[in-house]
């Protein structure tokens, strides 16, 4: 069975760019083979892109290149001109047990948040696509946390997780929190609190995105399955899950990239402490750069994180392209 | 045709010129009285909630004298203030003047972003009236890059009722006696015999030094940061023993300043160490609590920890003349006296120490302790050393690794610093 959208796309008349791209081209003579009008259009397009490109270059490219340059320098202290030291920083980082410990913590944090978020967001999406009274209000309430700044959420949750505050008061009736758990004073309880907050701020938007994907699943599939006697659970597992798999992968990967590099929640709630036990690479980088003023090592760390995120982003882009082709 | 001026007219013109010159000179004199103008940004440390009203008053009074100075007075978030100030300084856009902890001076001074107050033309009269030790304690490599505006020494606060309840007649004079008293308090059912601020920013600068300095420890040797391992172990053994015997609050590494105040004011905690500001805070939040102070106990010797905070003026200041004038205004003895009294600090002007505010009541113990107080050395590696030490002590509390391991980690960490 073909989705209606696909049929419409396939039968649509080829217009504009599509028409030109159908023309056979000779490798190396792409521009020469185009009409002056088309060339003008391309030039105009690039002209429109130029301000954004310049801005991006200034905001992202310049600091990135600067960081890469600093990563190969010994540069410590304010206004230190720095001295080139080759790959010394990378070797030092590689041999630092704390780097590996914090890398492990980064994956613990990322997988913890993304894993739980994915499951909860999927369940939330199932609820969001149902028809029930007050659905609009429910959706608004669900999306509200996504509109709140991460730093603000972290401050509020950090306060709530103080031993004498909201979380312990709420849990007091259940027994384990009597006397007060110092949530942020040591691991593993600090990780429980941090991942909880990470999940809370990630679930709403992910759930809404998944719900949008679920709405695109043709209803006749469910009707046919119902006629065949499939239960709601079977319909979810056999129809919804396979047909929203791509969106699930995309949201998971996007959350992974964001979470891996997420700074505000941990920085505000624990500052990476106690004793670096809740640090992730992003918060450690901040400490090295802005507290210890070791800009060389901080940049080295930034380059390592950049490479890891670049790999993840490429996978993300690949998935997006793949999904677009499929769609 | 030659134009002639009549003699009478000359006199009129001469008179007019004289009037013009006179008016110009008078106007110049007026400008001279208020030659300061332009923008001026000053950052202040977020000591307490009373800071903002005080700043508003100071701003109004200063602007009454210098209406053309556009003052921006800010109180940044204390947790990230040092980081943001460093970033601003390295980017060439710091405030004109900032209140900072004196331990922040070395990296800023090394980077050459600070002005020397004396060379910048700050009032020699005001400098001369300051306590020489407090003034010169902010000198780094000979330069007066910090201007002390308030000081503190530390002492032990104790709840007199809880001591009486535990049958303790007199406050302890040594760490051994304090341990015994803490045990007695615990046996008498006191919830927190001693409150330890384990999560604050003073883990090394204060809490380590309380037990380190009083066991013969010195932080500088041959002009460099140094740790005496024997004094370190002796000192940390006190904290480690108290933690293991449950004489601190539970989850000692979560202990904050706010909780320190709250538990002392509510009568839950029997003892803690702090500065003179705690006097007012306990009195305000727990008016029924009867408390007093005693000197930091001795190990092998008597000592306490002293702290000064300073004004720093930045070389990138666009308005150094107004900056100096404003700080001189804030440091006028009357203005400064009000500031230190409001904060619960000790003064920096010699003439103020004789005032009843600092010679009577609980504050007297701090005034008396100041001359023997030891200060954190001004060293470029202090921040990193502070982090190493804080981590070592926190690990000792969390993992029960013991003082030997903690001190070894501090010594090793220090050896790794350049």
Overall residue count recorded for chain B in this entry: 418
Take residue B403 and report the two structure tokens written for it.
């003082």
Which of A293, A296, A297, A298 is the mutation pick for testing B, counting most B CBs within 10 A? Answer: A293
User: Which residues on B lie below 8 Å from A85 (Cβ)?
Assistant: none
Higher pLDDT, B52 or B4: B52
Characterize the bridge pairing of strands B97-101 and B38-43: parallel
Q: What is the mean pLDDT of residues A37-56?
A: 91
% of chain A at pLDDT higher than 90: 46
pLDDT exceeds 50 at position A20: no
| Strand intervals (E) in B75-143 | 97-101
Asked if A186 lies within 8 A of B251 by C-beta distance, the reply is yes
Taking each helix axis from N to C terminus, what angle separates B382-399 and B229-244, rounded to the nearest 10 degrees?
40
What pLDDT does A34 receive?
A: 65
Reported as a pLDDT band with limits 50, 70 and 90, residue B26 is very low
Q: What is the mean pLDDT of residues A320-324?
A: 70
Among B110, B251, B394, beta carbon nearest to A275 = B394
DSSP string across B221-288:
ETTEE---HHHHHHHHHHHHHHHHTT-B-SSGGG--HHHHHHHHHTT-BSEEEE-THHHHHHHHH-TT
Asked if B112 lies within 8 A of A293 by C-beta distance, the reply is no
Asked if B259 lies within 8 A of A290 by C-beta distance, the reply is no
**Cα–Cα nearest to B385, from B363, B353, B415, B351:** B415
Whether B82 contacts chain A with CB within 8 A = yes
pLDDT exceeds 90 at position B150: yes
pLDDT exceeds 80 at position A182: yes
pLDDT exceeds 90 at position A322: no
Among B79, B112, B384, beta carbon nearest to A79 = B112
Whether B384 contacts chain A with CB within 8 A = yes
Lowest mean pLDDT among A114-118, A180-184, A254-258, A286-290: A180-184
Asked if A163 lies within 8 A of B254 by C-beta distance, the reply is yes
| CB-CB contact of B213 with B273 (8 Å) | no
What pLDDT does A323 receive?
A: 65
Please tell me the distance from the alpha carbon of residue B109 to that of residue B119, in angstroms, as a whole number. Answer: 14
Give B225's strand partners.
B220
Lowest mean pLDDT among A88-92, A95-99, A154-158, B76-80: B76-80
Reported as a pLDDT band with limits 50, 70 and 90, residue A124 is very high
What is the H or E stretch that residue A124 is in?
helix A97-128
Domains and CATH numbers, chain B: 38-153+307-375 (3.40.190.10), 155-306+378-415 (3.40.190.10)
The answer to the question of residue A239 being in a domain is: yes
The answer to the question of residue A252 being in a domain is: yes
Asked if B250 lies within 8 A of A185 by C-beta distance, the reply is no
Mean pLDDT, chain B, as a whole number?
A: 89
What pLDDT does B90 receive?
A: 85
Q: How many domains does chain A have?
A: 1
Which residues does A contribute to its contact with B (CB < 8 Å)?
76-80, 163-164, 179-180, 182, 184-186, 271, 273-276, 286, 290-293
pLDDT digits (tens, 9 = 90+) for B252-308: 988 889 889 999 999 999 999 999 999 989 999 999 999 999 999 999 999 999 999
pLDDT digits (tens, 9 = 90+) for B293-316: 999 999 999 999 999 999 999 999
pLDDT exceeds 80 at position A298: yes
The answer to the question of residue A197 being in a domain is: yes
Residue of B nearest to A272 (CA): B391
pLDDT exceeds 90 at position B143: yes
pLDDT digits (tens, 9 = 90+) for B316-372: 999 999 999 999 999 999 999 999 999 999 999 999 999 999 998 888 889 998 988
% of chain A at pLDDT higher than 70: 87
Other residues' Cβ atoms within 10 Å of the Cβ of residue B66:
19
Give B53's strand partners.
none
Asked if A78 lies within 8 A of B380 by C-beta distance, the reply is no
pLDDT exceeds 60 at position A2: no
Q: What is the mean pLDDT of residues A251-266?
A: 91
Whether B20 contacts chain A with CB within 8 A = no
What pLDDT does A164 receive?
A: 78
User: Which residues on A lie below 8 Å from B197 (Cβ)?
Assistant: none
Whether B86 contacts chain A with CB within 8 A = yes
What pLDDT does B33 receive?
A: 55
**In CATH, what number is assigned to the domain containing residue A154?**
1.10.3720.10
% of chain B at pLDDT higher than 70: 92
pLDDT digits (tens, 9 = 90+) for B83-125: 899 989 988 899 999 999 999 999 999 999 999 999 999 999 9
Reported as a pLDDT band with limits 50, 70 and 90, residue A163 is confident
B30 φ/ψ sector (left φ>0, alpha ψ -120 to 50, else beta): alpha
Among A163, A275, A290, beta carbon nearest to B83 = A290
The answer to the question of residue A314 being in a domain is: yes
What pLDDT does A136 receive?
A: 86
Lowest mean pLDDT among A172-176, B10-14, B79-83, B278-282: B10-14
Burial class from Cβ neighbours inside 10 Å (0-12, 13-18, 19+) for residue A223 reads: exposed
Residue of B nearest to A268 (CA): B79
Q: What is the mean pLDDT of residues A52-65?
A: 88
Asked if B199 lies within 8 A of A290 by C-beta distance, the reply is no
Which of B90, B261, B405 is the mutation pick for testing A, counting most A CBs within 10 A? Answer: B90
The answer to the question of residue A192 being in a domain is: yes
User: Which residues on B lie below 8 Å from A80 (Cβ)?
Assistant: 111
The answer to the question of residue A36 being in a domain is: no
Residue A101's domain comprises 97-326
Asked if A274 lies within 8 A of B108 by C-beta distance, the reply is no
What pLDDT does B353 receive?
A: 94
User: Which residues on B lie below 8 Å from A185 (Cβ)?
Assistant: 199, 251, 253-254
What pLDDT does A162 receive?
A: 85
């Amino acid at each position: 069975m073909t989705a209606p959208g696909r049929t419409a796309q396939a039968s649509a008349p080829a217009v504009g760019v599509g028409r030109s791209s159908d023309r056979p081209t000779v490798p190396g003579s792409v521009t020469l083979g185009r009409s002056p009008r088309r060339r003008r259009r391309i030039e105009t397009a690039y002209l429109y892109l130029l301000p954004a490109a310049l801005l991006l270059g200034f905001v992202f490219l310049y600091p990135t290149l600067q960081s890469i340059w600093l990563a190969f320098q010994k540069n410590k202290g304010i206004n230190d001109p720095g001295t080139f030291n080759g790959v010394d920083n990378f070797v030092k980082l590689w041999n630092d047990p704390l780097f590996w410990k914090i890398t492990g913590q980064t994956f613990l944090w990322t997988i913890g948040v993304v894993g739980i978020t994915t499951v909860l967001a999927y369940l939330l999406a199932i609820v969001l696509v149902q028809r029930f009274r007050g659905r609009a209000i429910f959706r608004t309430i669900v999306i509200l946390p996504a509109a709140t700044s991460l730093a603000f959420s972290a401050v509020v949750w950090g306060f709530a997780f103080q031993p004498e505050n909201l979380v312990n008061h709420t849990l007091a009736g259940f027994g384990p929190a009597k006397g007060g758990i110092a949530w942020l004073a040591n691991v593993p309880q600090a990780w429980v609190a941090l991942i909880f907050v990470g999940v809370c701020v990630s679930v709403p938007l992910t759930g809404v995105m998944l719900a949008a994907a679920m709405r695109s699943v043709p209803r006749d599939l469910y009707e046919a399955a119902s006629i065949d006697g499939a239960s709601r659970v079977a319909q979810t597992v056999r129809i919804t899950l396979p047909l929203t798999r791509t969106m699930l992968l995309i949201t998971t990967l996007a959350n992974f990239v964001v979470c891996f590099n997420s700074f505000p929640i941990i920085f505000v709630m624990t500052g990476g402490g106690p004793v670096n036990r809740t640090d992730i690479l992003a918060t450690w980088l901040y400490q090295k750069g802005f507290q210890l003023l070791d800009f060389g090592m901080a940049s080295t760390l930034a380059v390592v994180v950049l490479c890891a995120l670049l790999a993840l982003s490429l996978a993300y882009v690949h998935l997006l392209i793949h999904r677009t082709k499929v769609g | 045709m030659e134009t002639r001026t009549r003699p009478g007219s000359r006199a009129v013109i001469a008179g007019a010129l004289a009037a013009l010159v006179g008016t110009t000179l008078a106007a110049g004199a007026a400008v001279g009285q208020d030659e300061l103008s332009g923008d001026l940004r000053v950052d202040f440390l977020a000591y307490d909630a009373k800071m903002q009203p005080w700043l508003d008053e100071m701003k109004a009074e200063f602007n009454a004298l210098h209406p053309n100075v556009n003052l921006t007075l800010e109180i940044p978030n204390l947790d990230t203030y040092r980081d943001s100030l460093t970033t601003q300084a390295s980017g060439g856009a710091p405030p004109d003047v900032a209140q900072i902890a004196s331990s922040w001076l070395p990296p800023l001074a090394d980077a050459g972003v600070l002005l020397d107050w004396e060379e910048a033309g700050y009032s020699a009269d005001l400098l001369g009236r300051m306590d020489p030790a407090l003034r010169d304690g902010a000198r780094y490599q000979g330069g007066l890059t910090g201007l002390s505006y308030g000081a503190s020494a530390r002492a032990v606060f104790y709840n007199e009722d809880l001591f009486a309840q535990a049958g303790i007649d007199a406050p302890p004079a040594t760490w051994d006696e304090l341990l015994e008293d803490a045990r007695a308090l615990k046996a008498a059912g006191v919830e927190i015999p001693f409150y330890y601020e384990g999560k604050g920013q003073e883990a090394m600068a204060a809490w380590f030094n309380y037990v380190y300095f009083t066991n013969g420890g010195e932080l500088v040797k041959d002009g460099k940061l140094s740790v005496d391992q024997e004094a370190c172990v002796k000192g940390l053994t006190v904290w480690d023993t108290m933690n293991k015997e449950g004489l601190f609050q539970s989850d000692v590494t979560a202990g904050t300043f706010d909780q320190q105040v709250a538990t002392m004011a509510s009568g839950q905690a029997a003892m803690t160490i702090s500065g003179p500001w705690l006097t007012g805070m306990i009195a305000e939040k727990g008016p029924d609590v009867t408390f007093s102070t005693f000197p930091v106990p001795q190990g092998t010797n008597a000592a306490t920890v002293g702290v000064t905070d300073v004004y720093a003026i930045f070389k990138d200041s666009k308005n150094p003349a107004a900056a100096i004038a404003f700080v001189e205004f804030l440091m006028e003895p009357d203005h400064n006296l009000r500031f230190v009294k409001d904060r619960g600090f000790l003064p920096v002007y010699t003439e103020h120490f004789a005032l009843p505010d600092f010679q009577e009541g609980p504050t007297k113990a701090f005034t008396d302790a100041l001359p023997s107080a030891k200060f954190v050395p001004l060293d470029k590696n202090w921040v990193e050393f502070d982090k190493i030490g804080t981590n070592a002590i926190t690990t000792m509390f969390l993992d029960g690794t013991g003082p030997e391991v903690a001190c070894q980690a501090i010594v090793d960490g220090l050896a790794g610093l350049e």
